C-alpha cells in the first residue's frame, strides 16, 4: 500500500489524511525525477570532466596531438635537408675543392657543434615526448644553420679562387668528352675480352660509331695515332700537370695532329671500336702529373647533380669494363 500522510486538524483536534489532486501528484513526481536527473547529470559531467577534461581541455589536447604530428613531419624534413647538405659537402670536397687544388674541409669542421650547457632546458616543462622533439628540432636546425654557413664560405672561397686562377681553369678537363651515359668507371673491372680483372684507368661512355668527341679543356695535342690496345688514340697535354686520353676512335677530326692547340669544346675526333674492345664506346682518361685519376671527378661543368649521382650509381654497380 502507498504510504499515507496525515495532518493535525486543530479545529477537530484530530489527524486527517492528506489528499492530493492528480495534477499535484504529477507535478510532484515530475519534480522528483527532474531533480534526480539533474543530480545524475551533474555527477556525469563532473566525472567526464575529470576523466576527459573540459571542452577547452579536450580541444587543447587535440591541438597538441596535431602539433606533435607536424613536429614529426618537420623532423623528417630536417633529416632530408641534412642528407642533402652532406651530399653537397661531399661533392664540394671531392670535386670542386679537389679539382681546384684547395684543401678539403674536414668532416669534423663541417659538423662543428655548439656544445656546452643544455641551452634548451626550458623545454623540460613539457611532456617528455614533446620536450624530446622540441630539443631535437631546435638542435638540428641550429646545426643546419652552421653547416649552411660553412658551405657558403666554402663556395665563396672557390669563387675567389676561380676568379684569381681563371686562366689555369680553362685548361682543367672539366666537361664530358661526349654526350652519353657512363657505362663503366675507374677501378678494378672485369675485362670482357681478356676475361680477368684488371685496373680500368678511365671512364667508358656509351656512344655509337661516329659520335663527336670534344676537348674537355684547353691544351695541345700530344698524340693522335694508333696506340696498341687503345686503337686510335688522342692525347692532350693541358699544362699544369693535366693530360687527357681518348681511346678506340674511328677517326680524327680535320686538322687534329700532334702539336695543334685546341680549346675546350673543340671537335677532335669520332668514337669507334678500334683496339681491344667489346664494342663501340669512348674510353676517357684523366692524368695528373702522370698518374691516372678518376675522370668522374672532372666532369662537373656540364652535368647536373642528379646526373652526377646517376653516374656514381652506375659505376658502383657495374664491375665490368668495355675494354
Model confidence pLDDT, tens digit, residues 168-226: 888 999 999 999 899 999 999 998 888 889 999 999 999 999 999 999 999 999 999 99
What is the C-alpha separation between 215 and 176, in angstroms, rounded?
9
pTM of the model: 0.58
> 55-91 and 305-317 helices cross at what angle (nearest 10)?
70
Give phi and psi for 8, each to the nearest 5: -95, 120
Given a cut of 50, is residue 1 above it in pLDDT?
A: no
DSSP structural state of residue 320: B
Give phi and psi for 134, each to the nearest 5: -65, -40
Most confident of 3-12, 39-48, 72-81, 270-279: 270-279
| CB contact at 8 A, 277 and 233 | no
Model confidence pLDDT, tens digit, residues 107-164: 777 776 555 556 677 777 777 777 777 788 888 888 888 888 888 888 888 888 777 7
Any idea how long the chain is? 323
User: Collapsing DSSP states into helix, strand and coil, what is residue 22?
Assistant: helix
User: Collapsing DSSP states into helix, strand and coil, what is residue 83?
Assistant: helix
Dihedral sign, Cα of residue 62, residue 67, residue 72, residue 73: positive
Task: Return the H-helix or E-strand segment holding 194.
Answer: none
* Lookup: cell for 188: 678494378
What is the C-alpha separation between 177 and 268, in angstroms, rounded?
10
* Lookup: cell for 156: 665563396
Alpha helices per DSSP H over 111-196: 128-164, 166-171
Amino acid at each position: 500500500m502507498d504510504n499515507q500522510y496525515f495532518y493535525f486538524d486543530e479545529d477537530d483536534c484530530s489527524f486527517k489524511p492528506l489528499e492530493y489532486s492528480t495534477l499535484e501528484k504529477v507535478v510532484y513526481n515530475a519534480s522528483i525525477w527532474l531533480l534526480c536527473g539533474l543530480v545524475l547529470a551533474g555527477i556525469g559531467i563532473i566525472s567526464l570532466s575529470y576523466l576527459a577534461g573540459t571542452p577547452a581541455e579536450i580541444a587543447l589536447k587535440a591541438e597538441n596531438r596535431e602539433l606533435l604530428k607536424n613536429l614529426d613531419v618537420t623532423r623528417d624534413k630536417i633529416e632530408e635537408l641534412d642528407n642533402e647538405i652532406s651530399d653537397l659537402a661531399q661533392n664540394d670536397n671531392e670535386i670542386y675543392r679537389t679539382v681546384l687544388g684547395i684543401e678539403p674541409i674536414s668532416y669534423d669542421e663541417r659538423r662543428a657543434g655548439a656544445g656546452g650547457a643544455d641551452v634548451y632546458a626550458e623545454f623540460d616543462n613539457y611532456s617528455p615526448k614533446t620536450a624530446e622533439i622540441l630539443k631535437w628540432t631546435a638542435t638540428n636546425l641550429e646545426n643546419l644553420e652552421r653547416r649552411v654557413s660553412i658551405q657558403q664560405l666554402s663556395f665563396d672561397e672557390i669563387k675567389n679562387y676561380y676568379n684569381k686562377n681563371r686562366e689555369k681553369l680553362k685548361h682543367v678537363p672539366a666537361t664530358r668528352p661526349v654526350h652519353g651515359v657512363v657505362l663503366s668507371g675507374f677501378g678494378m673491372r672485369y675485362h670482357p675480352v681478356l676475361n680477368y680483372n684488371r685496373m680500368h684507368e678511365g671512364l667508358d661512355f656509351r656512344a655509337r660509331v661516329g659520335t663527336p668527341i670534344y676537348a674537355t679543356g684547353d691544351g695541345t695535342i700530344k698524340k693522335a695515332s694508333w696506340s696498341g690496345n687503345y686503337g686510335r688514340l688522342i692525347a692532350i697535354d693541358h699544362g699544369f700537370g693535366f693530360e687527357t686520353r681518348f681511346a678506340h676512335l674511328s677517326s680524327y677530326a680535320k686538322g687534329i695532329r700532334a702539336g695543334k692547340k685546341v680549346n675546350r669544346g673543340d671537335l677532335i675526333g669520332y668514337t669507334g671500336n678500334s683496339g681491344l674492345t667489346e664494342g663501340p664506346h669512348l674510353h676517357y682518361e684523366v692524368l695528373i702529373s702522370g698518374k691516372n685519376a678518376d675522370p668522374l671527378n672532372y666532369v662537373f661543368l656540364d652535368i647536373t647533380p642528379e646526373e652526377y649521382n646517376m653516374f656514381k650509381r652506375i659505376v658502383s654497380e657495374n664491375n665490368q669494363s668495355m675494354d
